[in-house]
């Protein structure tokens, strides 16, 4: 026979602005040790995966007065975008606790963007061989095949013709 008994399940009223939020929580009671604890269901409404989050919980009594405030760190959440997860950690509560207030703050591990990776790996803009990212974006420059003096000859001939026409008209 199980010694853990579910007391109740509560849907949490969350703020719409929070990207990572508490959806619902369940009260449990361990009948053997008389410990009361909760399990959380967390939702990720952002577009990035959340690996870690800090959860600040304020325990409230029947008169909605705070009993205790604690902060927990959840590692390895692996909370995918637009998904929910129930962390395996249980949070012990005071015996007088009837409800909770919760604030979840995701810890963002900065993942470099493609531009940051490219600029970090950049050695020579014309030829980069050590970066797989640059191999897709590598630009090959070509040297001029014709002599540089040909456009200059055309320019001087055109100018001389213009001057000749101008002086013959006057």
Strand-pairing partners, residue 26, are 9, 39
pLDDT digits (tens, 9 = 90+) for 119-136: 665 555 544 444 444 444
Report the alpha-carbon distance of residue 48 to residue 80 in Å, rounded: 7
The band of 156, judged by pLDDT with boundaries at 50, 70 and 90, is very high
Q: Are 117 and 134 in contact (CB under 8 A)?
A: no
| CA-to-CA separations, 67 to 59, 60, 78, 95, in angstroms, rounded | 5, 6, 31, 10
Per domain, the residue ranges of the chain are 4-107, 114-169
The Cα–Cα gap between 137 and 146 comes to 27
Question: What is the pLDDT, as a whole number, of residue 128?
Answer: 46
List of residues 6+ apart from 17 with CB closer than 8 A: none
Please tell us whether the domain made up of 4-107 is placed in CATH 3.30.420: no
What count of Cα atoms within 13 Å lies in the side-chain half-sphere of residue 147? 5
Of residues 156 and 47, more confidence is placed in: 156
| pLDDT for the residue numbered 146 | 60
pLDDT of residue 161: 93
DSSP classification of residue 119: H
For the chain, give the mean pLDDT.
Answer: 77
């Amino acid at each position: 026979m199980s010694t853990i008994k579910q007391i109740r399940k509560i849907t949490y009223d969350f703020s719409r602005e929070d990207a990572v939020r508490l959806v619902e929580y369940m009260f449990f009671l361990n009948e053997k040790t008389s410990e009361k604890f909760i399990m959380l269901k967390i939702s990720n409404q952002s577009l990035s995966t959340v690996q870690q989050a800090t959860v600040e919980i304020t325990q409230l009594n029947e008169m909605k007065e705070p009993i205790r405030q604690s902060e927990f760190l959840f590692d390895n959440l692996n909370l995918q975008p637009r998904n929910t997860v129930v962390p395996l950690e249980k949070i012990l509560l005071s015996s007088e606790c009837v409800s909770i207030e919760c604030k979840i703050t995701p810890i963002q591990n900065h993942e470099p963007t493609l531009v940051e990776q490219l600029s970090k790996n950049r050695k020579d803009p014309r030829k980069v061989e050590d970066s797989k990212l640059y191999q897709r974006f590598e630009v090959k420059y070509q040297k001029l095949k014709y002599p540089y003096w040909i456009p200059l000859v055309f320019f001087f001939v055109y100018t001389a013709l213009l001057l000749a026409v101008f002086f013959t008209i006057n």
